[in-house]
Amino acid sequence: MKKSHKKTRNKSLIWRQFKKNKGAVIGLVVFCVIVVIAIVSVIVFDFEADITAVKAADRLLPPSKEHWFGTDNLGRDVFARVCYGAQYSLLIGVVSVIISVVFGSLVGAFAAFVGGWIETVIMRLIELLLMIPGILLVIMIVYTFGASIPNLMLALGLSTVPHFARNARASVLTVRNNEYIEASRALGASELRVLFKHVLPNAISPILVQATSRISGCIISAAGYSFLGLGVPSPLPEWGAMLSDGRPFIYNYPYLEIFPGLAIMITVLAINQIGDGLRDALDPKLKR
Amino acid sequence: MLKYIFKRILILIPLIFLVSFIVFALMDNAPGDPVRTLVGENMTEEQIEQKREELGFNDPLLVRYGRYMKGIFRGDFGKSLYGNKDVLKEYLFRLPYTVKLALLSIFFTLIISIPTGIIAAVKQNTWIDAIFSAGAIMGLSIPGFWLGLMLVLIFSVKLGWFPVYGADEGLKSYILPAITLGVANASLLTRMTRSSLLDTIRQDYLKTVRAKGLSERKTILNHAFRNALIPIATIAGSQFSGLLSGSIIVENVFSWPGIGTLTVTAIRTHDITLATGCAVLTTMFTAVTLLIVDVLYAFIDPRIKAQYTGK
């Protein structure tokens, strides 16, 4: 009973800190709006009729009252496609980071926990993997297994597992040396209980901050890979894929390139603001 | 110090084995048949099969990998499937374009981010700080390749100041791609410079410096900044090595004749030897650059140097 009381107080403290950062609050509001747009457009738009169907009569119309963002070279409404595309970027960003966090934390926490030569071997391997440029790994994985959303998520997620593993190990090691861990050991808690009850919850905030900033990184990278044709395949209105489709028309129909790009930028900006706010709120030591 | 450099070079050997195995195994499962590409369309199945046997494509993965590694250590990365060019030669021909671009880009990054970072820190919590910080977070949020497209649209297509693509017009062709690659790095470095300087400003020895009556300007530039420089140099160094592989997508936007475009073309045309070679060479090259950067730190930071020589 006492414990849960303390937990809620802690949470409201974080929230109060977060609220002080105006940029972070605006970021959170914008992010929520984007999530709502993503959900609503799945309900409102029909994938076949509104998103992928070719309408030859409406080719390359400039922005107007009927088509807010104009239409593309196949007569598809750019506004509908940009809204519909929100779900892909959000999903790819979140799922690939979850993959990195889960695997990375498990590997890193395991290494820190077992110690000895196993830890040395794991960390050496991680050091080596860190030296392989992530962008090359992603491109090779997606190319080999085919350009699709799940493959892109997996590739993006796996390519940053070593980063998260290293961080997770570092924060577990820091936490493990604290006196309250020693205290709970002294009280007779088992090693596993210590790891899951005390070490991981306290090591989680740096991991969380890293994860938030990684989500925006993943969204930008995913769009870049789709732009190269090594990400989300073209008829799907993912923002990077739309930029790739519109590229041959950039000189005469620049709006085809402007709106999807702005969509990426606003989404990433919102998440970066949230990340900054979280960092300040979770780690008062970093606050300036 | 020498011992440390030697150790770092030794790490490169398992790295080469690991990265080439990962790439080799992945490429082995990749779509496309290298032998069919090599011999052309108008050959019978039997002839293709014969050629496959001849080239050793029927051997198990590990045997082929061993043969490939043997080649690598003799400097033989094979020949590209298209055009039958030497992979290493082709790569080394493209490399200077990427390196020059990375150097120019990191130069842009430094001349923009260090002054803005210092000003933001000195004027902490004023409107100047707010504007610079907002600019930095904007810069971090722009997808590089999209920024490149927009810059081309404005400065090349509309204003005609710079070439639209390629590297044929000397320094002029370098400016837009270098800025494009530099914006995100400059934004990050501005933030780093600011926070690193704010950290040092609070140290006690700066109070001493001020107490003995040094001007604020000299305090910041001669004492605070020099100490804040170490984390800044660390980030800039890793940004530089990151540019060598990270410019792949931006190179594509500008049709830049560097290693990024070479890698993507190799992948798109299913040229497995060229793609594998590019991946292995880029990884090695990035690792060597990082090693050089790390050694250079020792010269900026006497504490690091002492660590190596002390042992």
Position A288 scores a pLDDT of: 40
Position B217 scores a pLDDT of: 79
Interface of A with B in 132-171 (CB under 8 A): 132-133, 135-137, 139-141, 143-146
Q: How far is A70 from chain B, CA to nearest CA, in Å?
A: 18
Q: Is B124 within 8 Å of A137 when comparing Cβ atoms?
A: no
The answer to whether the beta carbons of residues A240 and A227 sit under 8 Å apart is yes
- CA nearest neighbour of A167 among A114, A221, A107: A107
Give the range among A4-18, A31-45, B143-157, B218-232 with minimum mean pLDDT.
Answer: A4-18
Position B183 scores a pLDDT of: 93
Residue A8 pLDDT more than 70?
no
**Which residues from B are below 8 Å from A140, CB to CB?**
22-23, 26-27, 267, 275, 279
Position A287 scores a pLDDT of: 44
Interface of A with B in 68-127 (CB under 8 A): 127
The 8-class DSSP code of residue A30 comes to: H
CA distance A71 to A79: 8
Tokens representing B131? 């504007």
Q: How far is B48 from chain A, CA to nearest CA, in Å?
A: 23
3-state secondary structure of B244: helix
Residue A223 pLDDT more than 70?
yes
The answer to whether the beta carbons of residues A80 and A40 sit under 8 Å apart is no
Phi-psi region of A229 (alpha: psi -120 to 50; beta: other; left: phi over 0): left
Would an 8 Å CB–CB cutoff place B11 in contact with chain A? yes
Q: What is the mean pLDDT of chain A?
A: 85
ipTM of the complex: 0.85
pLDDT confidence band for A1 (50 / 70 / 90): very low
The answer to whether the beta carbons of residues B282 and A131 sit under 8 Å apart is no
B310's CB contacts (< 8 A; 6+ apart) are: none
Position B267 scores a pLDDT of: 84
Write out the CATH class of domain A2-286: mainly alpha
Q: Is A133 within 8 Å of B246 when comparing Cβ atoms?
A: yes
Higher-scoring residue by pLDDT: A10, A111: A111
CA distance B235 to B250: 21
Q: Is B144 within 8 Å of A220 when comparing Cβ atoms?
A: yes
The Cα diameter of chain B in Å comes to 89
pLDDT in tens, A59-72: 877 888 877 888 88
Q: Average of pLDDT values for A192-212? A: 80
pLDDT in tens, A107-120: 988 888 788 899 88
Position B181 scores a pLDDT of: 93
- CA nearest neighbour of A267 among A227, A242, A239: A239
Q: Is A128 within 8 Å of B15 when comparing Cβ atoms?
A: yes
Tokens representing B132? 């610079």
Q: Average of pLDDT values for A210-225? A: 91
Q: Is the Cα torsion angle B277, B278, B282, B283 positive or negative in sign?
A: negative
**Which residues from B are below 8 Å from A161, CB to CB?**
none
Q: Is B22 within 8 Å of A224 when comparing Cβ atoms?
A: no
Which of B140, B165, B263 is the best substitution to test chain A (most A C-beta atoms within 10 A)? B140
**Other beta carbons less than 10 A from residue B220's beta carbon:** 21
Q: Is A128 within 8 Å of B14 when comparing Cβ atoms?
A: yes
- CA nearest neighbour of B19 among A180, A137, A202, A107: A137
Higher-scoring residue by pLDDT: B297, A78: A78
Let me know the angle formed at the C-alpha of B285 by B281 and B291, rounded to the nearest 5 degrees: 150
Residue A54 pLDDT more than 50?
yes
3-state secondary structure of B114: helix
Higher-scoring residue by pLDDT: A180, A214: A214
Q: Is B141 within 8 Å of A272 when comparing Cβ atoms?
A: yes
Radius of gyration of chain B (CA): 24
Position B41 scores a pLDDT of: 66
Residue A5 pLDDT more than 70?
no
Position A285 scores a pLDDT of: 55
Residues of chain B falling short of pLDDT 50:
311
Per domain, the residue ranges of chain A are 2-286
